Structures are given as C-alpha cells and as structure tokens.
C-alpha cells in the first residue's frame, strides 16, 4: 500500500487574473497553481499572499464574472476533469463560498481544442464561453440576481457548433451593441493557411448564433502570418464617432478592431469597416503572452523572455499603422496581468514569476523587476543529496532535517537554473538595525544593569573597532561609550556577569567592568609580544589562547586570577577553545597539528580526556567547539559539536560525570568550517545556530537532535537578543548589515537558486569530485537564426560554482542534445597490484541529433567521459548510434542503453586513458520507444512511451551462447509512461503522461505461466501532474515508523513529492482515516476527493484511488477545529490525541 505527500507544492503559474474578489474597492491577483488557488494582494512591500486554498482538481481556467448589482466580482474556475464552479468571497466568514457548480460538461468522443482550455467573458459581462473541444463552443449567460434565483449563471451550458476546427486563438471584440462579437484565428486544412473570422455571438433576439459561414460570418481575413498565434482586441475610443462610408475605394481603419499577432507580421482588422493594416516586424519572434498597458499600447512577450511594446498608431481617430519596440527582458511569460499603476505580474511556467514596473511615459522607457517568486518548474532532473555521507562514520539519515537536499535542474533555456530544495526553518527579518555595516566579526547582547529585565545593549565587533548600540523600546541609538568598554579595536567576547558586572575581552586585555564611576574592576593582559586570539568564558572561568601558542585559565570570582598556563611545543597551535556555561569546572581545546580535542580541568589545565579527530583526509582540524544541552537532561546528557576545517560537523555525547566523549557522529554542513552560536530555549535547553554556506539550526525534538536548514545564507554571526520590543529574537550579522529576526516554529521547504541561463537537462552527482556533472542546452539567436549548443560540465556540490572547463558537444551532424547522464565506476586501463583493472569514476552520456537531414546512420551517441586532475571533463570514447539514446543504466559494470524501440546491453573496455571499445552483448525489442530504465540486480524495468512497463531479465550466455535479454513480465494495459523505478522487491512505481501513479508488481506466485508474466496493479491514483523523474532512496525506518520512504518524484509543475510504502500494521488505520477525512473535509468548489484522486487516462477511468493514501489530505487533520477532529475520530479507534500524534509523526517524515 502506498502513501504520497508533497514536500514542495506546485510553483508554476499558468493562470492568473485580476479582480475585486475580496473587496469592492481593492483588486487582488488570483493565481492558479496545480490544485491550489492563491490570492495575492498589493502592499507597500509588494504582492503578499493573502490565502492559498486547495481544490480537489487541477485548475485549467480562471475567469472573472460580475452579475449586475453584485458588489464584488465572482471567480469562475474550471478543472482538467471538466468540473466548473463559481466562487464568491464571504466577508463575514472570511471564506470562499461556492455559489454554483457544474459537473460533466464533457463529450468523451470529441477532440480537445488545439489551444489549452479557454474561458472567455464578453466585454459587457453578459456571456461566458468555454472553448474545450474542436468545433464546439460551450456557452452560458451571466444572469441578473432576481428573487428566487441566486445562481450567477444559467443552469446549463449550451454547446454550439462552429465550422472553424483548428482554432488557434479566440477573443471577444469591443462593440457598442448588445450583440457581442467573437473572433476566431483558425487554420484551414493542413497547408498552413491561417485565417481570421468574426461572428455575432447572439442574433437580434439575443438567441445564440448559428455560426453559419454564409449567413452569420461578418468578416474573413486571409493572407495572415502562417505562424500567427494570438488575438489582441483593441477598445474603441470613448469619444470616437464612426462614419463608415459604404463602397469606399479605400476603407479606413478605426479603433475597436483586433490585432493578429504573428511571428513576422502583425495584422490589424477593423471589423466594422473591414479595413486591414499590416505591419512587418523588423525581427521575427515567437510571441507567447500579452497584456494591455493602455488602450493604444500593449506589452507582448516572446519565448526568449523579451518584452516588446506594441503601439497602435492613430491620427484623428484613424488607425494608420503599428510599431513594435523592444523594452527589456523578464522570465519567459505564460500569462501577464496589468495590476495597475504601471505594475505588471509576469507569471511563468519555465522560470521565476515576477512583478515588474514599466514606465512608458518618460523620455526613456524602462522596465524594473520589483519582486521575484521562486519557481522550480519544470523539474527536468534532480539528485538527492544526503550531506551526511562524506565519510564512513555514523551518519544522520533523516531526509526531513534539511541537511539532505534535492538539487534540481529546473526551468528552460534562458530561465534554466539549478535549485537546491531543502526542508528547513525560516529566519524572518523583523527589521534592519544598521545598514551598510560590513565585515562584522561578532555580535554580543548585554543588559545595561543588574535591574534590566531585557537585553538593551548590542556590542558589534569589527576588524578595527567596536561599535555599541543601545535600545529603548523600538528606538535604537549608537553611543560613543558605555561603561568603560574598549571601542578602539575588535571585541572577542562581551557578556554579563553576576552582580551587574560586564566581561570584555579584546586582543590586548581581559577586563571586568563595574557600574561606575571607575568602571574597571579587574584586568589581565597577556605576556609581551602576545595577543589574545581565542577566548571563551562562563560565570566563573575564562579559557583563552595567547597568539595560539599559550593556553591560560583565569578565575573570574578571584579578580581574574591566573589559575594555570600552558605553553605548547613548537609547531603545534591552539585552534579553538570553549567553556560551557552549565559545567563551570571544565573547558575544551582543539589543536591544529594533532587534530585532537581535549577536555581540561580549568583549575589546573590537566587533561581529563582526549579525542583524536583524524579522518581519511588532511582536513581534520577542529575550528570551533561548543557544548550545549540540546535534549532534556532527564533523557540525555550534553552534546559536543566540533566544526572541522572542511565543513564536517562532528558530534559527541558527553558523560556528565567523567566528561568522556562517546557516540561520535558526523554530518556535512558545507565546504568550510561552521561557526556555532548558542541560542537559549525555555527549560534550560539550547538551540545552536551554525553559520556557513548552508546555515543550519540544531535543535532537539521527539528525543532526537535535528539539523534544519535556515534561510540565512549570508549570515556571518548571530546572538540571542531578548529585548522588550523584540522578545525571543535573534540578531544576525550579514556581510552588509545587521538585522533582527525571529525563527519559524516549524520547518518549511526552502529553495536556493543558481541561474544558469540555459536548460539544465540532466544531473549526476560525483561524491569523489564533490561536484555535479550537468548536461546543459543553450539557445542563442544569431542573425535571426536559433543556434543550439550542448555542454557537459562540473559544478561544486555546495556553491554550484563551475569547476574546470565545460566540454562542448560538437559534431558535423549538427546540434546534439544531451538526453541522459550517469555517473558510475568502470574498470580503467590501469592494472592494480593484484593484476586486475583498477575501478575509476566515469560519466556516461546519451545524446541525440536534432538535424533531420544529418547522416541517417548517426542519430545519437553514447559518450564516456573521465575527469582529469584539473577537474576538466575529457572524452574517452564514443559510440555512434542509428537512433537517439534516451536513458542509460548500469548492470554489473555493463552499460544498459534505451534506444528507439530497443534496449541494448554493452560492455565497455578502456584500452587507454583516452580510448575504449564498446561490445554489444544483448538486445531487447521494445513495443515503441523506451523512455526510462530501472535496474536492480539482473532485472531491468523498461518504461515504454506508449505500452507501460516491461520487466526484462539479463541472462549471461553459457556454453558459447550469447547473452540475452528475456521478458519475464509485462503490464499489458496501454499507458504513456514517463518514469519508473523499483520501490520494493518485484514492485515498481510508474508515472504516466496523464498524471497517474501506478505500483506494478510481478505475480511470482501465479498459477500459470501467463499469470506470472502479467503484472498486477497493487496501487494507483491520479496525482494531477506529470512526473518527469523518480529517484529511489533507501532509508531504514525507525522502530515506530508507519511508513517507509522509497522515492522522490519531480513534476512538470514544480512539485516534489515523497513516495512511501505503508507498513502492514498501519495500512488499515490510514485508509480508514483517509475515508473519514474525505467525508468531513470539503474544499472550495465542493468537488469529490475520490474522483479527484481516481485513475484516469484515455483507456480507463476509475471511481476512486486504489490502495493509495494522500498525505496532503491526512496532514490537514492538524489544521482542523477540535470538533471536526472529534467527528473524524468517532468510530476510528484511536483517540483525537493519538491521531494528532500519528499525523504529526507522518508530517515529520516528509
């Protein structure tokens, strides 16, 4: 039985509309993302999401309607399953209410329209038209509210036949009569003849038009651009008077017509005078979206992300021409909306959505990006990175911690990027304390006096000075002096002591400062020619290092009395020191040369315990140490954290009586050492904030230590700051400023982006190189022609910086596309000491050629790459193919390649460092095109583009017979597969083009041979999104686990899901809980959950999901009122508290 839950929801924006939904006076922006409706409102800080509501369906259209007399607009929503509903906002309940719904406006035997499903409302707001099928308009009337009739639309839709079949675009025109006009841009036959036709929507009696070509068609325009794609209706001039001269030799065009947008030519039609004006573009382009700037200027976006301004040129109300000028560049738009005040929303499917401000009224036109919304869509490929896997020590394997991340290849072409997706804790900025403050070395919070109840002084250490800021409520003031603190150099440590004293440590001295007037109560200075380099203290002791060669222990209670001192041997230095606050008698010191840490008795500096930190590399140098009580003392002792030079963090449990270290573990936080900052919690516990390339919050929960990513990539230092105005907050120093923040109470998914400017088509991770091998496709326009270039290169696994030089795929056969990449180990040409070939890391690429006119004997290649000492990829060998190579896998050191209609097993043998030979061992003929492979042992699962999954066994040849591939099982249903992977023994997860997920199992115990060869469906559901890639993961479940995570899924809409199998003991309770949740929870639109998640493709349609649990629905239990929770749990068995704990545990596993 299967369980699936989202860890990143859809981020692609395909639908957006502006309307007065919440308030009659304020417009809002509504976005359609997958199965969610998001409402955004404008604020001084930009667009802010007001709410996000799920629906049981995938959104396929949005439209605004406003029946006469209603104070606010209504939202019309359509789904991909031909379900439609009208939403209104209830200001008293602050909820969206369903005013009307329609089901099954579906003609199963009709062809879908050429364009995506459209919903159009005429300019008068009286008619609504759906374009769903070829040759059919589905129409309805928007009604006036009347007594006894509350529905905004007529009770049924009327289908109207039209003769225009291959319609590319449809729009209503502006007219002054009660008979709205509609225009169709359509294609005639197959020769590319594109025409424009206009009709009246209703006749004189306001009955639906017959759309008869001879009687009802008012205009027909041919000689249009053969690649025309959009229609832009142009409003009439409000004060314009039309004088149409009949039978005029040269008719004049006026406003109120329509612009046909083509690639090389724009055409304007005045549908009343029938005048046509053509405009040839100076540079052809493919336009994908448009929005009106005003009545005469329109923004037109092309597929390269360029925004152009189309201007309708007029003279005395007469249209005399058109002009198109390039304005700037944004993400490739899917939809554009004029929000108002020259601000536009650019929604994108292939890049980040943006809010831009456009000024066309100045001397120089300008475009400025005001806001960017991250978009992971489409996920073309991804790798799962467990950052705890760098060496062989005991590792954390919690994928929910945030130290495991998914690195995705997202977007396309100019909007292509690498994205790091992690589950983590958000650091929310409350305000900027000081701006333009660079290179902050440390921050320390103080209380000004013993009577102070809150932190009200902040000490900021800089390379050459110390600056002091005082707080009075929300007022902040920088002061030149405070209680005798030294400000002429950097401060290494500042802290409050008992009785109102303050401790300050600088490079030159240690001082205890009193309340005044003399301030200085005690002072200690290091020996001559030495300076303090490391220091740590608690209320009783100070442990410091002088110039890295001397270690000194001071007693605070005895006026900085020197208790003991060490002088290190020549060549060894002190790397770091730490004195824990809870255990005043001990300290920790880390050493450079030996790579050890020691526990010291602070009274005499005698060694209590030592631990050698040496590992397999030469970066075993401790750089920072802290000991903190992360878990409750009743269940666990303190934990010691050691930040190593190379970004590894070692953790030890500390025995509270002997102070010995045990239970060594490791996790990787970055490539450079972390800095630890202790943040106190209630109950004597602590969190630890680790600042590095990927900052992390270390905290205790459910009896375990968790590492969660924190959204503070630029943080360099931090301290807890419990002030009156900002209680329980954190001061964070960055490279440019000082800000105050608070930390989220729960984990969320966070995305970090590296723009690449090209499509990142495939990713493979090399642990040896600590880098990703990425296959990129770059698109450039040169002299009006598009050029495609593919490259293979390495980027770092942390910062994504390029390493080495990219390898450009160049061949005489024309543009070559990278279809797949795999990292593996193959025998090299070098012999080891035992006489066998040494294994070496290699990257294997499969490619295809674009040019149809190329050599027919070479349509793709298999390339084997090595990485040299300078981390440059170099080609070892290539194999020319007669078809494209779609996928590559490894089976016992052999290469398995998915070619067109064939799966082939090759043996590759390196003959030298830059040459090798391929030998074909076995082949399997697939039904159509193999699209994905999953190899386990000698079993190969082949996902066919049209014919589901085949299970093939590799059988080595014996007795001189050749190797062979034998089909041992197959799913015989028609299914357009997109991805497959094994999730359990003899069980595979498959995704298809229709957004379905199927779990297929071999019937090993079948009675007949036919039964054994026929695969069984053991789980199925409709996800609603096409899955591009599935990556298997291996996680050992905890003893009390309900589910076992098996795979991550990446979709075209930017969603990332975690697929799990449900353990047998939990299957019944989760299925019954889902049944209860579906009965008691309704979403906007009042759609049926079972129908939403039921399997559906062109061949088969079910009524409910089969043995699949929707984690998104289950997790909504935590958001319900206690009364609803009680109703759901009635008859379920477990109590409300038990179910809540169960769901919380499920949520933490995501």
Q: Which residue has the tokens 């129409």?
A: 139
pLDDT of 243: 56
pLDDT of 1105: 96
The span from the CA of 236 to the CA of 222, in Å, is 24
Percent of the chain past pLDDT 70, that is, above it, reads 95
* Cβ-based neighbours of 249, under 8 Å, separated by 6 or more: none
pLDDT of 395: 38
Average pLDDT over residues 1109-1127: 92
Average pLDDT over residues 278-284: 93
> For residue 355, how far is the Cα from the chain centroid?
19
Cis before 517? omega within 30? yes
pLDDT of 499: 85
The span from the CA of 410 to the CA of 261, in Å, is 29
* Cβ-based neighbours of 1138, under 8 Å, separated by 6 or more: none
Choice among 172-186, 410-424, 548-562, 967-981 with the minimum mean pLDDT: 410-424
397 has pLDDT over 60 = no
59 has pLDDT over 60 = yes
Q: Which of 850, 106, 690, 708 is nearest to 401 (CA)?
A: 708
What does the pLDDT look like over 983-1003, one tens digit per residue? 999 999 999 999 999 999 999
616 has pLDDT over 60 = no
pLDDT of 1039: 73
Three-state DSSP at 267 gives strand
Selected residue with higher pLDDT from 400 and 534: 534
Choice among 73-77, 242-246, 699-703, 795-799 with the minimum mean pLDDT: 242-246
Q: Where are the domains of the chain?
A: 296-312+319-364, 927-1024, 1063-1150
What does the pLDDT look like over 147-160, one tens digit per residue? 767 789 998 899 99
Q: Which of 714, 712, 645 is nearest to 679 (CA)?
A: 712
Question: Residue 853: how many CA atoms within 13 Å on its side-chain side?
Answer: 1
Give the C-alpha distances (Å, rounded to integers) separating 961 from 549, 551, 967, 977, 1144.
Answer: 72, 74, 18, 34, 57
947-975: string of b/e by CB count within 10 Å (b at 16+)? bbbbbbebeeeeeeeebbbeebbbbeeeb
Q: Which of 170, 282, 276 is nearest to 223 (CA)?
A: 276
* Cβ-based neighbours of 923, under 8 Å, separated by 6 or more: 902, 903, 904, 905, 965
Average pLDDT, the chain: 89
697 has pLDDT over 50 = yes
What does the pLDDT look like over 868-887, one tens digit per residue? 989 999 999 999 999 999 99
Average pLDDT over residues 259-276: 94
pLDDT of 404: 66
What residues pair up with 761 in beta bridges, in sequence order? none
Q: What is the DSSP letter of 254?
A: B
Which pair of structure tokens corresponds to residue 789?
A: 């270039």
The span from the CA of 553 to the CA of 543, in Å, is 5
Task: pLDDT band for 709, please (50, 70, 90 cuts).
Answer: confident
pLDDT of 853: 54
Which pair of structure tokens corresponds to residue 45?
A: 């800080």
Average pLDDT over residues 634-656: 89
- CATH among 2.60.40, 3.40.50, 1.10.3470, 2.40.128 for 927-1024: 2.40.128
Task: pLDDT band for 391, please (50, 70, 90 cuts).
Answer: very low
Task: pLDDT band for 398, please (50, 70, 90 cuts).
Answer: very low
Average pLDDT over residues 708-734: 85
Selected residue with higher pLDDT from 136 and 115: 136
pLDDT of 631: 87
* Cβ-based neighbours of 1068, under 8 Å, separated by 6 or more: none
The values of phi and psi at residue 527, to 5°, are -55, 160
Selected residue with higher pLDDT from 282 and 391: 282
Three-state DSSP at 454 gives coil
Q: What is the DSSP letter of 1063?
A: P
Three-state DSSP at 1052 gives coil
| Contact in structure between 762 and 848 (CB atoms under 8 Å) | no
pLDDT of 1146: 87
- Helix then strand count (H, E) for the chain reads 6, 83
325-347: string of b/e by CB count within 10 Å (b at 16+)? eebbebbbbbbbbbbeeebbbbb
812 has pLDDT over 80 = no
Task: pLDDT band for 920, please (50, 70, 90 cuts).
Answer: very high
617 has pLDDT over 70 = no
pLDDT of 396: 41
DSSP H or E stretch at residue 705: strand 704-710
Q: Which of 885, 884, 882, 886 is nearest to 858 (CA)?
A: 882
Strand runs labelled E in 142-180: 158-161, 166-173
pLDDT of 389: 44
What does the pLDDT look like over 313-363, one tens digit per residue? 998 878 999 999 999 999 999 999 999 999 999 999 999 999 999 999 888
Q: State the alpha helices, DSSP H only, in 764-919.
A: none
Q: Which of 1032, 973, 966 is nearest to 998 (CA)?
A: 973
Identical topology for domains 927-1024 and 1063-1150: no
Task: pLDDT band for 104, please (50, 70, 90 cuts).
Answer: low
Percent of the chain past pLDDT 90, that is, above it, reads 64
What does the pLDDT look like over 406-426, one tens digit per residue? 999 999 999 999 998 877 777
555 has pLDDT over 70 = yes
618 has pLDDT over 70 = no
| Contact in structure between 47 and 38 (CB atoms under 8 Å) | no
pLDDT of 639: 94
What does the pLDDT look like over 168-213, one tens digit per residue? 999 999 988 889 999 999 999 876 799 999 999 999 999 999 999 9
> For residue 384, how far is the Cα from the chain centroid?
13
What does the pLDDT look like over 563-610, one tens digit per residue? 999 898 877 899 999 999 988 889 999 998 888 999 999 999 999 999
1150 has pLDDT over 70 = no
DSSP H or E stretch at residue 925: strand 915-925
What does the pLDDT look like over 797-811, one tens digit per residue? 877 888 989 999 987
pLDDT of 498: 87
Give pTM, 2 decimals. Answer: 0.83
- Spell out the CATH class of 1063-1150: mainly alpha
51 has pLDDT over 60 = yes
What does the pLDDT look like over 1091-1114, one tens digit per residue? 999 999 988 999 999 999 999 999
């Amino acid at each position: 039985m299967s369980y699936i839950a989202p860890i990143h929801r859809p981020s692609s924006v395909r639908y957006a509309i502006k309307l007065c939904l919440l308030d009659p006076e304020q417009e809002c922006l509504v976005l359609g993302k997958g199965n969610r409706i998001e409402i955004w409102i404008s604020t001084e800080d930009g667009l802010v999401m007001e709410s996000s509501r799920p629906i049981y369906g995938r959104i396929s259209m949005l439209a605004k309607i406003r029946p006469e007399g209603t104070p606010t607009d209504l939202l019309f929503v359509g789904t991909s399953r031909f379900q439609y509903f009208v939403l209104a906002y209830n200001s008293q309940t602050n909820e969206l209410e369903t005013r009307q719904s329609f089901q099954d406006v579906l003609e199963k035997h009709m062809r879908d329209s050429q364009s995506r499903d459209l919903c159009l409302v005429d300019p008068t707001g009286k008619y609504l038209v759906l374009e769903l099928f070829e040759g059919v308009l589905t129409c309805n009337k928007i009604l006036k509210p009347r007594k006894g009739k509350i529905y905004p639309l007529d009770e049924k839709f009327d289908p109207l036949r039209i003769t225009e079949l291959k319609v590319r675009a449809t729009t209503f025109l502006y007219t002054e009569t009660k008979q709205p006009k509609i225009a169709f841009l359509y294609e005639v036959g197959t020769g590319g003849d594109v025409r424009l036709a206009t009709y009246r929507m209703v006749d004189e009696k306001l009955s639906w038009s017959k759309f008869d070509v001879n009687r009802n068609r008012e205009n027909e325009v041919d000689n249009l651009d053969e690649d025309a794609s959009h229609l832009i209706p142009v409003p009439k001039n409000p004060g314009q008077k039309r004088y149409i001269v009949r039978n005029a030799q040269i008719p004049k065009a006026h406003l109120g017509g329509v612009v046909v947008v083509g690639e090389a030519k724009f055409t304007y039609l005045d549908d009343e005078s029938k005048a046509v004006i053509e405009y040839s573009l100076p540079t052809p382009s493919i336009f994908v979206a448009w929005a009106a700037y005003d009545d005469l200027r329109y923004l037109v976006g092309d597929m390269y992300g360029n925004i152009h301004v189309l201007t309708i040129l007029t003279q005395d109300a007469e249209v005399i021409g058109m002009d198109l000028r390039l304005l700037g560049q944004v993400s490739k738009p899917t939809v554009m909306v004029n929000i108002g005040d020259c601000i536009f929303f650019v929604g994108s499917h292939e890049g980040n959505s943006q809010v831009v401000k456009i000024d066309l009224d100045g001397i120089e036109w300008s475009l400025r990006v005001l806001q960017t919304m991250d978009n992971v869509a489409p996920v073309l490929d991804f790798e799962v990175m467990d950052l705890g896997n760098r060496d062989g020590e005991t590792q954390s394997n919690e994928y929910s911690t945030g130290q495991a991340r998914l690195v995705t290849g997202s977007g396309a072409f100019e909007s292509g990027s690498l994205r790091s997706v992690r589950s983590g804790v958000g650091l929310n900025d409350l305000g900027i304390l000081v701006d333009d403050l660079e290179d902050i070395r440390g921050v320390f919070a103080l209380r000004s006096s013993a009577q102070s109840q809150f932190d009200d002084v902040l000490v900021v250490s800089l390379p050459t000075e110390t600056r002091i800021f005082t707080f009075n409520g929300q007022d902040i003031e920088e002061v030149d002096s405070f209680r005798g603190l030294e400000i002429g150099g950097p401060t290494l440590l500042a802290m409050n002591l008992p009785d109102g004293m303050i401790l300050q440590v600088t490079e030159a001295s240690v001082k205890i400062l009193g309340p005044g007037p003399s301030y200085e109560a005690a002072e200690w200075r290091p020996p001559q020619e030495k300076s303090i380099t490391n220091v740590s203290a608690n209320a009783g002791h100070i442990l410091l290092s002088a110039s890295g060669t001397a270690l000194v222990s001071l007693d605070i209670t005895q006026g900085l009395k020197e208790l003991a001192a060490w002088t290190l041997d020549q060549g060894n230095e002190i790397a770091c020191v730490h004195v824990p606050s809870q255990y005043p008698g001990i300290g920790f010191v880390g050493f450079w040369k030996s790579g050890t840490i020691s526990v010291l008795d602070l009274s005499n500096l005698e060694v209590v315990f030592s631990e050698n930190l040496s590992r397999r590399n030469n970066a075993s140098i401790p750089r920072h140490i802290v000991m903190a009580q992360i878990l409750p003392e009743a269940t666990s002792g303190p934990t010691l954290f050691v930040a190593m030079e190379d970004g590894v963090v070692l953790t030890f449990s500390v025995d509270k009586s002997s102070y010995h270290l045990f239970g060594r573990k490791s996790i990787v936080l970055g490539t450079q050492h972390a800095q630890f900052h202790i943040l106190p919690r209630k109950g004597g516990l602590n969190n630890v904030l680790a600042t590095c390339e990927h900052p992390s919050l270390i905290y205790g929960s459910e009896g375990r230590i968790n590492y969660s990513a924190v959204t503070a990539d630029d943080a360099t230092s931090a301290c807890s700051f419990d002030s009156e105005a900002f209680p329980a907050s954190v001061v964070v120093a960055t490279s440019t400023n000082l800000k105050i923040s608070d930390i989220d109470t729960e984990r969320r998914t966070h995305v970090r982006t590296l723009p690449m400017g090209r499509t990142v088509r495939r990713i493979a991770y090399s642990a040896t190189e600590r880098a990703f091998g990425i296959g990129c496709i770059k698109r450039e326009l040169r002299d009006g022609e598009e050029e495609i270039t593919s490259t293979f290169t390495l980027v770092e696994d942390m910062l994504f910086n390029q390493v080495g030089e990219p390898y450009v795929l160049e061949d005489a056969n024309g543009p070559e596309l990278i279809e797949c990449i795999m990292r593996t180990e193959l025998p090299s040409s070098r012999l080891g000491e035992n006489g066998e070939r040494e294994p070496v890391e290699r990257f294997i690429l499969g490619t295809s050629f674009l040019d149809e006119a190329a050599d027919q004997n070479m349509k793709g290649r298999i390339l084997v790459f090595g990485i040299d000492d300078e981390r440059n990829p170099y080609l070892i060998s290539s194999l020319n193919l007669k078809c494209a190579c779609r996928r590559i896998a490894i089976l016992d050191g052999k290469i398995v390649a998915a070619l067109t209609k064939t799966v082939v097993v090759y043996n590759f043998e390196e003959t030298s460092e830059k040459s090798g030979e391929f030998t074909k061992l076995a082949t399997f003929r697939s039904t159509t095109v193999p699209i994905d492979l999953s190899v386990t042992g000698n079993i190969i699962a082949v996902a066919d583009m049209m014919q589901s999954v085949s299970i093939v066994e590799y059988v080595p040849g014996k007795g001189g017979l050749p190797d062979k591939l034998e089909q041992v099982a197959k799913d015989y249903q028609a299914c357009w597969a997109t991805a497959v992977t094994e999730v359990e023994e003899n069980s595979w997860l498959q995704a298809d083009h229709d957004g379905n997920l199927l779990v297929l199992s071999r019937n090993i115990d079948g009675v007949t041979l036919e039964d054994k060869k026929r695969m069984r469906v053991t789980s199925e559901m409709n996800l609603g999104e096409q899955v591009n890639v599935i990556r298997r993961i291996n996680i050992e479940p905890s003893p009390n686990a309900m589910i076992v995570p098996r795979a991550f899924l990446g979709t075209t809409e930017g969603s990332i899901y975690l697929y799990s199998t449900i353990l047998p003991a939990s299957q019944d309770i989760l299925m019954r809980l889902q049944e209860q949740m579906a009965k008691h929870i309704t979403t906007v639109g009042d759609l049926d959950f079972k129908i939403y998640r039921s399997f559906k493709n062109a061949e088969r349609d079910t009524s409910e999901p089969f043995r699949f649990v929707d984690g998104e629905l289950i997790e909504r239990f935590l958001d319900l009122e206690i009364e609803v929770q009680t109703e759901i749990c009635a008859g379920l068995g477990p109590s409300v508290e038990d179910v809540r704990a169960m769901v919380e545990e499920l949520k933490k596993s995501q």
